[in-house]
Structures are given as C-alpha cells and as structure tokens.
Amino acid sequence: MTVVSSRLRTRAMVLASVLGIVVGLAGGQATRSDYRRAASLKVLTAGKVFKSSVAPHWFADNTRFWHRNDLRDGGREFIVVDAIKGVRERAFDHEKAAAALSKATGRKHTAASLQIERIEFLKGGAIRLDFKGESWEYSPKTARVTRVNRAPGGKNRSAANRGAKKRPRQKAEKPYARPTVFARDRNLYIRTKGDDEARALTRDGTQANPYTGHVAWSPDSKKFVAFRTTKAQKRLLHLIESSPADQLQPKLHSYTYLKPGDAIAATQPHLFDAVAGKEIPLDRKLFSNPYQLNSLRWSRDSKEFTFYYNQRGHQVVRIVGVDAKTGRTRAVINEETKTFFDYANKQYVNYLDETGEIIWASERDGWNHLYLYDARTGKVKNQITKGPWVIRRVMRVDRKERRIWFRAGGIRPGQDPYYIHYGRVNFDGSGLTLLTEGDGTHEIKYSPNRRFFIDAWSRVDAPPVTELRRASDGKLICPLETADISALLETGWKTPIPFSAKGRDGKTDIYGVIIRPTNFDPKKKYPVIENIYAGPQGSYTPKRFTVWHKAWPVAELGFIIVQIDGMGTSNRSKAFHDVCAKNLADAGFPDRIAWIKAAAEKYPWMDITRVGVFGRSAGGQNAARGVLDYPDFYKVAVAYAGCHDNRMDKIWWNELWMGWPVGPHYAASSNATVAHKLRGKLMLIVGELDRNVDPSSTMQLAGALIKADKDFDMLVIPGGGHGAHPYATRRRRDFFVRHLLGVEPRSRP
C-alpha cells in the first residue's frame, strides 16, 4: 500500500467516525456484533421450524397412513389419517401412554417429553412404541403397556416399510443367431458362426475417423447400424497448483477441456446388410453436422431405424428415420429456430411403439408444450397441452389410459408463474385437470397405489402447508399440517418479501425477492445488494419457504439483499428466454434495474443510490458486467469465478446460448472487451484450480483492466476451485461494508 493511499484510507475512517450517527441512520455501521450475528445466524435459526413436512407410512390397504410430528416443546406426536373418511387424528392418547410408561419404567414421562422414534400397529389394536432402544406394546383399550423383547425394526404392517415380494424370474428368450461384428485396426470385421476367419466389412477407417465397434442390430438380425466417429481436437487446460500440501514446488495439472468453436467428436451411423455382407449407403443431408446423434432405435418390424439429431449450433433438432432397405432418410420430427433449442433442460421425447406415436416437447407456439406425433407419417396428430404456461417436467405417462402427469409453471392465473403445480391431461389434449391448488409452489407424494397424494406447498413468505388430496381430480380430502415458525420468528428472522414489477418493455412481470436483516428498522435507509445469477439454464429466485439462504449473513451487516429473474433466464415464454441468445452480456439488467427502482418506490428503506451486486460462475460474469455497463446504478461488484469471456469457457454451455460458429457476438459479450468502462468498485475472486470455468478468464479480465489503467481488487485462492471459499466469502462481505457503508469492516477481532 502506498503512503498516499494509506493517508486517504485514514481520512476516510476519520470521516466515517465523525459521521457515525449519519451512517447509523443510513442502515448501520457493520459493528463486530453485526458480524457475530451474521456468523451465528445459521445456527441461531436451525431447528426452529416444526410440522413442516409429512413422511407417510402407509398401511397395507393403502387407504390409511401414519406420520410423526416433532413439536416445538421437544415432544412428538403420532398422527393417523384415514384417506377414505378424510379423518386426521392422534394415533393414540399420548398422555395416557406417557402415564403408563412412567408407571412401568419408574421414570417420569410426559406427552411432551416422550421421545418415541417409531410406532407399529399390531393385530387386535395394540401399538408398539419404540424409543431409547426399548420396545413397548401399548393397548389403547386398557391404557397399559407391556415390555417386549423384540428389537425395533421388526415386521411392520405399513406398506412403506414392507419388503417388496420377489417376482419370479422370467426365462429370457433365446437370441437370434447372428454374426459377430467387431472393430479392429479402426475398421469393422464380421465373423459368421462356424467360420474360422473374420472378413473385413470396411477398409476406409482411419485414425482420425475410425469405426467404433459398437453396433445396433435390427430385431430380425439381418441388418445392423455401426458408428464411425471423428475425433475431437485435443485441447488441454493447464492449471498450476502453487501451494500443494505434499511438496514445496508447484504442480501442473492438465486435462481435456473443449471450448466454443473447437472441433468436436462427431458420430455418424452406417447401415450394413449382415446377410449380404455389405454397407447400404445413407443420404446424410438431414444429419450432416451433428453436435449430438444418439438414441438409435429399430422399429419392431426391422424396416426402419430412427435416431435423435441435434445440429451443431442448436438451431435444428430432428428425429431422423432411415429406411433399412434403401438407406433413404426422412425427418420424422423436424424443429428449426433462429435462436436456440434448450436441449439440456426442455427436450422431451417418448416413443409409443405400441401405437406408432411419439410424445414430443416443443416451444413452437411460444411456450414449452407437448405434442403427439404420428411416427409413421411424421405429422402432428394434436397438440396435447397449450396456453400461456409451460411444462416443467413430465412425471408419468400411462400408455394404457393414454394419460400424462406433469409439473407446470404459470398454469394457475394470478399466481407467480414460477410456482410449480401438478396436473394431468389425456393424449388428445382433453381432460386437463389441475391437481394442486394453493397459492405457492408445490411438491407431491403419491400413495403406493397412486389413489391419493400428499401435497406440500409454500412460498418464501408462507411456511409449508401439507394436505391430503385425491389423485383422480385433486380434490382436497383433509388438511394435514401447517408449519409452526413461531420459534423462528422469535429469533428476529424476517420473512423474505416477494415482489414483482414490470420489466424493460413495461408489460412483462419480473419476479424477485427481498431479504432484510434480523434487526431491520423501516425508519432507516439500507444499501441494496443484488445476488445475481443470470445463467439461461434455469430461474433462481427462491420460491419455496426456506430458513437459510447464503445471502442472509450479508444482509445482517446492514444491507437489503435482492434476487431477481430477468429476461434471458428460463421457465417463462420462449420470447422471454430468447433475450439471452448470442447476448449473455444482457443478463436481464434492464429488467433488474427497473425492478429495483420499483421496489424502492414501494419500500423507501431501500437506498438505491448505493447498489452493489455479487455472483459466482455465470453470476460472476454478470456481476462484473453490472459495474461495466451500468456504473450509474451498480456502484460496487464482487465477481467470483466468473466466465468473463464465453470463448474461454466450456463448449456445451456457451455454444448452447451463444451459438456456433464463434463470431463477433462472442467478443461483444466479453467483459474484457469493455474493461475500459469500469467506474465503480470491482473485486475479482478466482480459485487457481477451477476446473469448471477456466481461471484464465478472470486473469484476462484483470489484464484488460490493467491495460486500461483501472483500479480494482483481486483475490486468488491458492488451491481453490469453483466453489465458494470461506476466506473469499469474508472478503466479499468486507468489500461491501467498506464501499457501500463507508466504514472499515469489523470482521476481525
């Protein structure tokens, strides 16, 4: 540190001391007590929520179950639910059982202190109680207990703990007699049964483009498909471990790491007639440039095989069909787009061989929905689901009943579109039935016979509610539990605030959440810090009730934390998602800024003259971009393990969103390209052994900042990887305290 900078730091500390009262009114000084509270927050809030979930133990008839509740006073209660009658009641009289156990053991037991671990319902109505390594048989009729010697965990009459019956093994059918095909010297050879010598099927295999030896036989064993793969280029990523634990000198680590634009391993199918011993040429126009070519399947009559094809650049995906006699190809399903197909998260295909149909997911109408195809003609028979909502996951397909169960987002009008709801629909699009109802995000558990399900739903500002519902139509049978958070609230823990506001277009709703410190005072003004991650592969704002979030300790130092899903992230419409296409630099910032400004209008304790941002990985790229592109709004940023230049990162993630081939748009999204624009405070953090994102991405941004003569802070973690490091976490908090609160951190004793 230079003498000049030291003097400036001292003056700043003196000024902060003089203005201590003002700083206090503006949200706190981040005192040692604040740091201590932040450090202990996770422990302080742990174990303070009760009756938040139901783990059912179904009886053999699958119409009743029991579950255990752990209670605030340290006691436990056991509940039995009759799904037919819709009755929820205590499994037994806990007070009488405690009194009987006290008398039998000579030790004082109460209903509140009775630490029963599990129960078992026995014939005749008796109940076995297991606790502290002992087993007792309790009779509800006589209110008496009898000690039993049988060890806990014996035969249980609830279906959840009953071992599945072993099914008799079916005799496997004898396979068709077929030749042996194998690879040798990069070519294919075939040996017919009874032959001593194998003969060559191919002679054009090379070291760069060999036949693999993996084959897919037709059901009649007369034809097979073999594969030939061009090898990927050999790109090695070199990392230097500066401070290994087992030696003084550094270590070099090298491993394969393809980057955007690199030559990839491309697989092509080759069709062979095993009887004639020759190849049947294929027309390769429909699959000439594969990024993925997999899931090969033969038709039952051996007349055709199909495979999934994802063209490099991810703008064309197909199910390709190949005539096994002629080698002619057809597009059974063909999808093309100007942006990208999110094959990693939204692709769904289900072959219905019995009926010659395919269920296929597509965003062709602007929303992720399901379509039913005629596999023979390649025509859409009907759209299965439709509307301004999205299929999040197919849960089950009943081919006999021709019905689909799914998870969806945005299907309940008026609710947050990211909330998960469950539903079902028939193959022809009829019979759409929503099975969940409450205003929150849902998770369900079916009974063993799928006649009933337990639905648990919550919001960030509403603790879990658990209900029993009928699977046929979602009708409520009876409420089960509502979580008790009274002990949690007594710690000072504040419920996060969900908030929505219009985005950049003035029409689209943007959703986020606001987190406050436990000592929050609405009369004060707090700096705002955004916890950012704009990776297009998902959405990230918490929706489910949770006691702990990594951002809460930061809030405890005197900040308001926000987390937002701007345009370019997933799980909304295709247009919403497409904002990121070939433009990861956007990161939804216009939407985020509009949202924070709208929140500050409603909540004046948010001081948006002091806004910071932090993130890791893609979030690190986003955080740095915030102070580079929007320095008038974001004043301070901490970028951890950032993918600062998409040309430097792993191939699959970056080509999916930035496209192929690599063009000028890659440089336009690089933080290094705009490093000269830095005006705010920026800290770069990187682990020297990050195997996820090339650490050189951060180093190159640092080099660009140095070249532009920009001041910034940098922390390199020796031996650190891609994950968060405790030291880096502490330094990140201190950075915000210093530059947003204007005081020296008190993180050290």
749 within 8 A of 646, measured Cβ to Cβ: no
Dist. CA 326–CA 304, nearest whole Å: 10
CA pair distance 395, 372, nearest whole angstrom = 17
Expressed in angstroms, the distance from the first to the final Cα of the chain is 22
Quote the pLDDT of residue 4.
Answer: 36
DSSP H or E segment with residue 5:
helix 3-18
Q: 149 vs 137, 144, 281, 289, 720, CA distance in Å?
A: 10, 17, 74, 70, 54
Q: What is the pLDDT of residue 384?
A: 98
Residue whose entry in the numeric block shows the structure tokens 């008398």: 103
Residues in a beta bridge with 217: 224
Cα separation, 487 vs 490, in Å, equals: 5
Cα separation, 732 vs 724, whole angstroms: 11
How many H-runs (helices) and E-runs (strands) does the chain carry? 13, 41
Query: Residue 21: its pLDDT value, please?
Result: 33
Residues 292/298/299/304 CA torsion (nearest 10 deg)? 80
**203-212 LR contacts (CB < 8 Å, sep 24+):** 207/231, 210/183, 210/186, 211/183, 211/186, 211/187, 211/270, 212/183
Are 451 and 477 spatial neighbours (Cβ–Cβ below 8 Å)? no
Running along the chain, 749 residues long, what does each successive block of 10 average in pLDDT? 38 38 50 94 96 96 96 91 97 92 88 83 90 88 85 42 46 63 96 87 96 96 97 96 97 98 98 96 98 97 98 98 98 98 97 97 98 98 98 98 98 98 98 98 98 98 98 98 98 97 98 97 98 98 95 96 98 98 98 98 98 98 98 98 98 98 98 98 98 98 98 98 96 98 88
Q: How far apart are CA 549 and CA 553, in angstroms?
A: 8
From the list 513, 484, 515, the residue with the least C-alpha distance to 501 is 513
* pLDDT, position 408: 98
Give, as one character, the DSSP assignment of residue 666: H
Q: Residue 49 and residue 72: Cα distance in Å, rounded?
A: 8
Cβ atoms within 10 Å of 726's Cβ, excluding its own = 7
pLDDT (0 to 100) of residue 533: 98
- pLDDT computed for residue 749 by the predictor: 66
Position 169 scores a pLDDT of 54
Structural domains in the chain plus CATH codes:
30-47+488-741 (3.40.50.1820), 57-159 (no CATH)
pLDDT at 113: 79
Query: In this structure, are strands 476-482 and 266-273 parallel, antiparallel, or unpaired?
Result: unpaired
pLDDT for 110 equals 87
